[in-house]
Amino acid sequence: MDQSREFDEFLGTEVRIHDKHRFEVKLDVGVKDGERHVYRVETYLFIPRTLGINPATYAKADFYNDIQRYIRFKTPQFSVSKLTDPAEKNSPLARLKSMLDGILAGAKTPSAVESAYEEIKLLACVVRVALRDQSKFFIDELARIPDEEGDQARIAVFKEQVGAFLDGLESFILSVHGLREALAAPAAPDRLREALAFADEYFSIAAEDTLTEILAAIRARAALRAGLSAVDAHLAALIKGQEAYRAERGYPSLVDKGTDSETFIYRSGVLKKFVSSVLYLQIETSAGEREAQIIFGIAAGLAMAIFMVVAYYANTRYTPTSMTFAMILTVGYIVKDRIKDLLKLWFLTRWTRWASDRSTEITDPATGKVIGRMREAFSFVRLASVPDEIKRRRFMDNITAIENEGKPEEIIRYEKEVTLFPKLITQFHERRKDLNDILRINISPFLEQADDPKAEHVHLNGKTGKVEVLQCARVYHVNALMRYVVRASGEAETVKYERFRIVLTRKGIKRLEVVPAVVAEP
């Protein structure tokens, strides 16, 4: 197996825009058996100096206030048909049915109720991902069908696939309605009845969203609409049915076309947070003061040792009451102070694992076990301190050194190292093993000193001969370099680099570009 494929088994990476002012780095962490699983992410942000971001204006505390971190279990993967398959024993739907049968039969222990409560939320998360993946599959398949008279064979296959999916979805919806009716019994715990009502509403919203995405993709292909008219009608009927169902049940997640429908958006967000809570791990962060103080002590000790050598030398050559002796000690003290600060900076920028700003324990809320630890460190660094491979990749698309000098940059370095204990995960979890590690960075502070997003440019139109005033976009480029390092028990260390460019205007992120590792020759 080549190194890139081997790396992706340990750590899949994805960078994307989250909203106008935040971008997101998402890691899919594959947890393998072993005592330890360690991965380190080094992020270098090259920020134009014209934006005014520097150590004097952007402190360490500012950076940590501008980031959000989430670590959660990756959602187990089941198709809709697998969820309703009685033979699929790991299906959350099958497990939930079995749990509720036991509870309604009298085994209403607190642990049994809590397990069923968590299984309801897990089922909702699984359905959300299954529907999302299915929608993407159908939209991609639709894009492969040519317009010219349509590919009848592909259209037939597409219709069959969508039909099977819709049959499976309707079967799943009926199963959930059956569970809801079972929990209407007086013996059913209120906690489970309320949780399933929340999940039921969430299922309905997710199904409507997915079906609408597929319907919109079909209607966007005018040349295929006639051949897919039956599918169109089926989708439309199911979409209307879900909206009517929520109205009938009294669920508040309804779109009111006469208003801004804030209730619908708010309710959808609440439901999503409720069901997703089953996947999130607890992270408790503390400042890494102990390690930093040890490092600072070492730096101070080394600086003092140098000063003592200077003092000893002066004492052997000059009398302690002479002006020369006093000047040497004064200069030595100044040098000692500078050496101490330089050593502190050197340690903090190179030995992050020993001098982290923050230390975090990662706890599985289901077991209370600490399943991992994370260390983080932030600093501004000089270009000379940036690793050669990072510098090479940063400047590989610059043609000349003059181009480098024409856009001076400040460089932020952020490193985090995560150590996981796989045995404490696999010992208690059969389906939730792999993790998602999500980092969101807010770039709003980068825009405070940005110029207006439009600049006027007087231009002579070569075709008309008229002088015109053009409105040109003024953008800034923040280049980001990522270095990912993975080390698992019994495995060799593997490394991966990634570069992307965030194109900003004063209004926020305009686009995010992935920069290839190799630039083609002109």
Spatial distance between the Cα atoms of 319 and 448, rounded to a whole number of angstroms: 58
> How far is C-alpha 255 from the geometric centre of its chain's CA atoms?
29
Spatial distance between the Cα atoms of 32 and 433, rounded to a whole number of angstroms: 9
Closest by CA position to 351, among listed 385, 306, 384:
385
Residues belonging to the chain: 522
DSSP code at position 183: T
Under a CB-based contact definition with an 8 Å cutoff, are residues 225 and 156 in contact? no
Domain residue spans of the chain? 3-74+374-514, 80-278, 289-350
List the chain pLDDT tens, one digit each, 522 residues: 455 555 566 778 899 999 999 999 999 988 777 778 888 999 999 999 999 999 999 998 999 999 999 899 989 888 888 888 888 888 999 999 999 999 998 888 999 999 999 999 999 999 999 999 999 999 999 988 887 666 788 888 999 999 999 999 999 999 999 999 999 888 889 999 999 999 999 999 999 999 999 999 999 988 888 888 999 999 999 999 999 999 999 999 888 777 778 888 899 999 999 999 999 998 887 765 555 566 666 766 776 777 787 776 777 777 777 787 778 777 777 776 777 666 666 655 555 555 678 888 999 888 888 988 999 999 899 888 888 999 999 888 764 444 555 578 999 999 999 999 888 888 777 777 788 999 999 999 999 988 888 888 888 888 888 888 888 888 999 999 999 988 766 667 788 999 999 999 999 999 999 888 654 433
Quote the radius of gyration of the chain (alpha carbons, Å).
Answer: 30
Say what the pTM is: 0.77
Q: Across the strands, what pairs with 480?
A: 45, 500
Spatial distance between the Cα atoms of 279 and 275, rounded to a whole number of angstroms: 8
Under a CB-based contact definition with an 8 Å cutoff, are residues 438 and 69 in contact? yes
Single-letter code of the amino acid located at 401: A
